[in-house]
């Protein structure tokens, strides 16, 4: 495979992942608006746990620290979503399955990439989420998967 081809796959995956993250966030914020629910504190707690595992302390007073952890949690989510898009594009599997199957597979990969670390670190326990919690997680990730698969297919 040529360097240009590898670069194209990585760039295509990053763009698809970023588009997927935008779609995931849009669906999440529409759900929050519709149901009047608050934002999850899980991304900030996961950011804090990640820093803790790395032996890093977030600087600042309590309010500044919380704000920075919230921002870091959002940035980590963007990185995960973009990274899953890159991995999917780089795998060479894009466009080889029916669109619905590919969308669900990519959405499931993104779900696993975010939910497994939360469960393993004890930041959140998916077994306790209930139907509304799982739908609030699964639907945006399914939309993410469809957008990633669609963008990659359009740029093959």
Report how far residue 32's alpha carbon sits from residue 40's, in angstroms, rounded to the nearest whole number: 10
Residue 106 tokens read as: 């990519």
Q: Mean pLDDT in the chain?
A: 95
- The answer on pLDDT for 1 being more than 70 is no
- pLDDT number for residue 37: 94
pTM of the model: 0.92
- pLDDT number for residue 104: 97
- pLDDT number for residue 79: 97
- The answer on pLDDT for 154 being more than 90 is yes
Tens of pLDDT along 68-118?
999 999 999 999 999 999 999 999 888 899 999 999 999 999 999 999 999
Cβ pair 144, 21 in contact under 8 A: yes
Report how far residue 145's alpha carbon sits from residue 129's, in angstroms, rounded to the nearest whole number: 22
DSSP assignment letter at 98? -
- pLDDT number for residue 128: 95
- pLDDT number for residue 92: 85
String of b and e for 40-65 (b: at least 16 CB within 10 Å)? bebbbbbbbbbeeeeeeeeeeeeeee
- pLDDT number for residue 140: 98
Tens of pLDDT along 32-71?
999 999 999 999 999 999 999 999 999 999 999 999 999 9
Integer distance in angstroms from the first to the last C-alpha of the chain?
15
38: alpha, beta or left, given left = phi > 0 and alpha = psi -120 to 50?
Answer: beta
Tens of pLDDT along 134-153?
999 999 999 999 999 999 99
């Amino acid at each position: 495979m040529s360097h240009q081809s590898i670069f194209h796959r990585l760039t295509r995956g990053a763009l698809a992942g970023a588009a997927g993250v935008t779609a995931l966030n849009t669906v999440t914020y529409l759900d929050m608006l519709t149901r009047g629910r608050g934002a999850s504190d899980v991304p900030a707690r996961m950011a804090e746990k990640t820093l803790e595992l790395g032996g890093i302390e977030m600087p600042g007073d309590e309010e500044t620290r919380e704000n920075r952890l919230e921002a870091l949690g959002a940035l980590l989510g963007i990185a995960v979503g973009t990274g899953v898009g890159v991995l999917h594009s780089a795998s060479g599997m894009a466009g080889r399955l029916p669109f619905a199957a590919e969308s669900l597979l990519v959405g499931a990969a993104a779900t696993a990439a975010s939910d497994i670390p939360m469960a393993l670190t004890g930041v959140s326990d998916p077994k306790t989420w209930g139907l509304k919690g799982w739908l609030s997680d699964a639907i945006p990730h399914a939309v993410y998967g469809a957008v990633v698969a669609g963008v990659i297919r359009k740029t093959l």
